[in-house]
Structure 1
C-alpha cells in the first residue's frame, strides 16, 4: 500500500488538469514522508464558494465561505479488524486503504486568493491542499506557535515540489 489521492471535481468554473493532480500527488507524498505517513488515502474534492459555504455552515456552524475544509477520519481503534475485499475471480484478497480523511477546496476562493497574494492558482491550491492534509493529521493553528509550526511544514513541502511564491 501507499499514500494515495482520490479526487473529484464538483465545480465548473476552472478546469482541473492532470498536471495539477500530479503536482498534488507529489505534494501528498512529500508531506506524508515528512510526517511519517506512508499508507492511506486522502479524498480531495474541488467545489465552488456556494458549496463550501454550505458545508462550512452545516458542519462548523460558520455561515460564510472558506478556502479549505478538512474532515479527519482518525477515530479508528487499534483493535479493529482489517477491511478486505475480494478481487474479481475470488482468489486474491487485498486490504482497503486507511482513509485519512477528506479535504474540500473552493477553487473560486483559491483563485481570488492567488490574485491577492500575487502567485499562481496552482501554488494556492497546493498550499490549501497541504494545509488541509496537516489538519487531517491533527495539526492546528489556534495560537502563534502552532501556526508558525504548520506554516513552516507547509512551506517546506511546497518548496520541494516547486510551488514557491
Structure 2
C-alpha cells in the first residue's frame, strides 16, 4: 500500500513530536484496515490513499465548498471511484496496477474534542475516522439508506475493534 500523509502546518496546537507519532499511527491503522478480510476480498491489488490531517478552519472551508455545510466536521472523504464501479462484479472491474482510492481528510482538533467527549482515546477516535473515511472511498454511503447506514456502521465497528487489537493502539 502506498500511503501519503499530509499535515496542516497551520495547526497551532501540535505538541512536540506529535506530528511524527500521528503519522506512524495513521500508517499502522491504514495498513491494518487494508489487510482486513473484507478489503482483501475486493481484490484491489496495490492501492494508494492520501490522508490529510488538517485544522478546524480548513476542514470547515472544505465542508462548505464540497458539501455546502458551513461547519466543522470530523472527517471528509473524496473517493476516486463511484458506487456503480464498486457495485460491479469483480470480473467487470478494470484492473489497475496501482489504484488511487481517494483522499481522507481528518480534523485534528475535532478528533481531540470528540475523543474527550466520547470518553475514548485519541487513537480510537482516529481509527474510527480513518475506517469511516476509507469505507466511503470503497463505495459505502450511510446517507443513502437506513440499510446502507446499518451495514456501514456495523462493518466500521467490527473493523475498528479488530484494527485496534492488531495495531496495538
Cα distance, 1:40 vs structure 2 = 1.4
What TM-score results when the alignment is normalised by the length of structure 1? 0.77
Residue pair 2:60, 2:72 contacting (<8 A) in 1 also = yes
Cα distance, 1:37 vs structure 2 = 3.3
Cα distance, 1:34 vs structure 2 = 5.7
Instruction: Give distance in 1, aligned partners of 2:127 and 2:110.
Output: 13
1:100-159 Cα deviation digits (max 9, x unpaired): 100000010011111111101111111011101111111111233211111111111112
Please tell me the root mean square deviation across aligned C-alpha atoms, in Å: 2.7
Instruction: Give distance in 2, aligned partners of 1:6 and 1:59.
Output: 22
What TM-score results when the alignment is normalised by the length of structure 2? 0.76
Q: Which residue of 2 aligns with 1:41?
A: 48
Cα distance, 1:4 vs structure 2 = 2.8
Cα distance, 1:79 vs structure 2 = 10
Moved more, 10-19 or 97-106: 10-19
Residue pair 1:56, 1:64 contacting (<8 A) in 2 also = yes
Higher CA-based Rg: 1
Residue pair 1:110, 1:121 contacting (<8 A) in 2 also = yes
Is 1:113 the equivalent of 2:114?
A: yes
| Count of aligned positions | 148
Instruction: Give distance in 1, aligned partners of 2:8 and 2:53.
Output: 6
Query: After TM superposition, which residue ranges in structure 1, 4 or more long, deviate above 4 angstroms?
Result: 77-80
- Structure with the bigger percentage of helix: 2
Instruction: Give distance in 1, aligned partners of 2:41 and 2:125.
Output: 20
1:58-94 Cα deviation digits (max 9, x unpaired): 111111111100011116x9899x7xxxxxxxxxxxx
Instruction: Give distance in 1, aligned partners of 2:41 and 2:160.
Output: 12
Cα distance, 1:50 vs structure 2 = 0.4
Instruction: Give distance in 1, aligned partners of 2:160 and 2:138.
Output: 17
